[in-house]
Structure 1
Amino acid sequence: PKSAVTKTVNTIHGDIQIPAHPQRIVVDLYQNDLLALGIKPVGSVKYFLDNPYSKDLVQGIESIGDRSSVSVEKVLTLQPDLILIASKDASEYEKYSKIAPTIVIPYGTYKNVHEELTAFGELLGKEQEAKTWLAQYDQRLQAARDKLKGIVQPGDTFT
C-alpha cells in the first residue's frame, strides 16, 4: 500500500515529492548504499546483483538489465514508488520519472562513504541505520590499519 505521507527533496531536476517511507525502490547504482541501510530495493542492475560479496543480501531483488541497457518495461512491472539513478542524461530522467518519482544523484556527488551514506540515510529516513553502519565501518577500517602497523612504512604506497 502506497503511503500518503510524502516529503519534498531538492534534486538537480528541482523539488520532487517522494514517499516519506518508500517501500519499492529501483536503483541503477546505489544498491549497496540501500543494503547498508537495511533497505532491499525491488530492482537493480545485473552488474551489482552479480557481485559475489553481496550475493546473500540480494536474494529477491529483480534484475532491470545491464547498466548500459536497462529495461524500462521491467522497471514498470516492478511498480516502484521511488527510483534512484546516477545518470545526468536528461532523457534517462524523463523515462524513469514517467514511472515513479525519480531522484538523480550523479556519480561522484559525494566525497566519501560517510557523506554518501549519511545523505542516503537522510533521504530515506534511515539516519540511525546510517550512523550504526558507519560506526562499524570505521571500526573495521581501524582494525585493518592496526594489522598493517609496522608492515607498511610511512610514505609506502600499495593497492
Structure 2
Amino acid sequence: MAFLTRRTFMGLMGVAALTPVLGGCSSEQPATAQEGNQSTDASANANGMRTVDTDKGQVEIPANPQTIVSDYYLGELLAVDVKPVIASPYALNNPFLAGMCDGIEELNTVSAETSLEMIAEKQPDLIITITEADYDKYSKIAPTVYIQDGKRSDEDLFRYIASLVNKEEAAEAYINEFNDKVAMVKDEMVSIVGDRTVSILEVWPQEIYTMGSRFARGGSILYDMWGLKAPEPIQSTMVDGDETYKVISVEALPDYAGDFILYGVLDGADSAYVDDSKLWQNLPAVKADRVLPYEQVAFMHRD
C-alpha cells in the first residue's frame, strides 16, 4: 500500500475509532447511569418513572435506569460512561471497544428462548433494542425502547440514547471532541483524495454490498463530514438520496468502485469470487494499490 493511502486509512481509523473521552469504562462491574438532566420529551412522575417518546409511541421508563440491556447500541452507551449488563456479541467483538467491556455479558443468541431467559435473569429496568421483531417479548421483561435503524442521523441517535440514561451533557462533550478530530484531518484527507472518488465495498457470501453516507462503515465521515465524493451510482442514491445500501454483482463493480476503495469482508466469508475475478483485478483502484481493507466487525456499527 502506498504511503499516502496508508495515511488516508490510518486517518480514517483514528477518527472512526471510539475513543473513551470519559473515564471509568474498564471497571470490573457494569456501570450504571447517574441521575441528571432529563430529556425534553420526557415527563417524570412520583413513582420514579418518566414517559419518553419512542419509535413505538410513548413508553414509561425509569427516571434513573440502573440495569440496562442493549442488543446493538453498545458503543453509544460506553461513550457516555454507561455499561449495559448484557450486549450483542457482535458489538462486544469490536476491536475498538477492547478493554472497555469487562463485566458485560455476551447475549446468548443460540435461540430466542435462551436470549430471553438470559435477559430476564438480569432483571433489567431498561432494554434498548434495534430489533422490532423482539419488541413485544422484551417489553414483557422490562420497559423497552425500540429505535428504528436509519431513522436518525448518527449524532441525533447518540443524543437520543444519551437522553434515555440522563447523559445529555456527556454526549454533547463527546460529539464536540469527535467533530474536532474529524475537522483536524479533513484538509489532509481532501488534499490526498482531491477530485477522485471513494467507495465502500463489502463482500458477503455471493453478495457485494456498497454503502453511502446513510448506513454504517464510516460513510457519514467520508461523504458528509469530509465532503469526499462517491462514484455516481452511489453519490446520487446513497449520499444525495435516501437509499442506505445496495447489493451488486461482480459485473457491476466497475460502476461502483471508486478511485479509492474501502474494502471489507464478512467474518468467515470467502472473498475469492471477487478477489480472483478479472473485473476486480482490472479496477483502477486495485491496479494502483488504493484498496484500503477494514475489519468488518470493527466498522459494523455506526457509533
| TM-score, length-scaled by structure 1 | 0.87
* Per-residue deviation, 1:50: 1.3
2:188 counterpart of 1:147? yes
2:100 counterpart of 1:52? no
Q: After alignment, is 118-127 or 71-80 more displaced?
A: 118-127
SS at match of 2:132: coil
Find the counterpart in structure 1 of residue 136 from structure 2: 94
Amino acid at match of 2:176: A
**How far does the alpha carbon of each residue in 1:11-33 deviate from its partner, in whole angstroms, 9 at most, with x for none?**
23332110111111100111111
| TM-score, length-scaled by structure 2 | 0.48
Is this contact kept in 2: 1:45–1:67, CA < 8 A?
no
Q: After alignment, is 70-79 or 144-153 more displaced?
A: 144-153
SS at match of 1:18: strand
Number of aligned residues? 154
Provide the aligned C-alpha RMSD in A.
2.0
Gaps of 5+ in 2: 1-34, 36-46, 199-259, 263-303
Counterpart of 1:41 (choices 72, 80, 84) is 84
2:164 counterpart of 1:119? no
Percent of aligned pairs with the same residue?
Answer: 34
* Per-residue deviation, 1:146: 3.2
SS at match of 1:57: coil
Q: After alignment, is 70-79 or 99-108 more displaced?
A: 70-79
Gaps of 5+ in 1: none
SS at match of 2:192: coil
Structure 1 residues 150 and 39, CA gap change in structure 2 (3 angstroms) = same
CA distance in 2, matches of 1:57, 1:126: 18
SS at match of 1:144: helix
**How far does the alpha carbon of each residue in 1:126-158 deviate from its partner, in whole angstroms, 9 at most, with x for none?**
110010000111011112313324211034323
Find the counterpart in structure 1 of residue 66 from structure 2: 23
2:120 counterpart of 1:76? yes
CA distance in 1, matches of 2:56, 2:191: 50
Amino acid at match of 1:97: S
CA distance in 2, matches of 1:39, 1:61: 11
Amino acid at match of 1:131: E
* Per-residue deviation, 1:67: 9.1
SS at match of 1:100: coil
Find the counterpart in structure 2 of residue 62 from structure 1: 105
* Per-residue deviation, 1:57: 0.9
Is this contact kept in 2: 1:26–1:84, CA < 8 A?
yes
Find the counterpart in structure 1 of residue 57 from structure 2: 14
**How far does the alpha carbon of each residue in 1:55-89 deviate from its partner, in whole angstroms, 9 at most, with x for none?**
21111101112398561111011111100111122
Structure 1 runs of 4+ aligned residues shifted over 3 Å read 66-70
Computing the radius of gyration from Cα coordinates, the structure with the larger value is 2
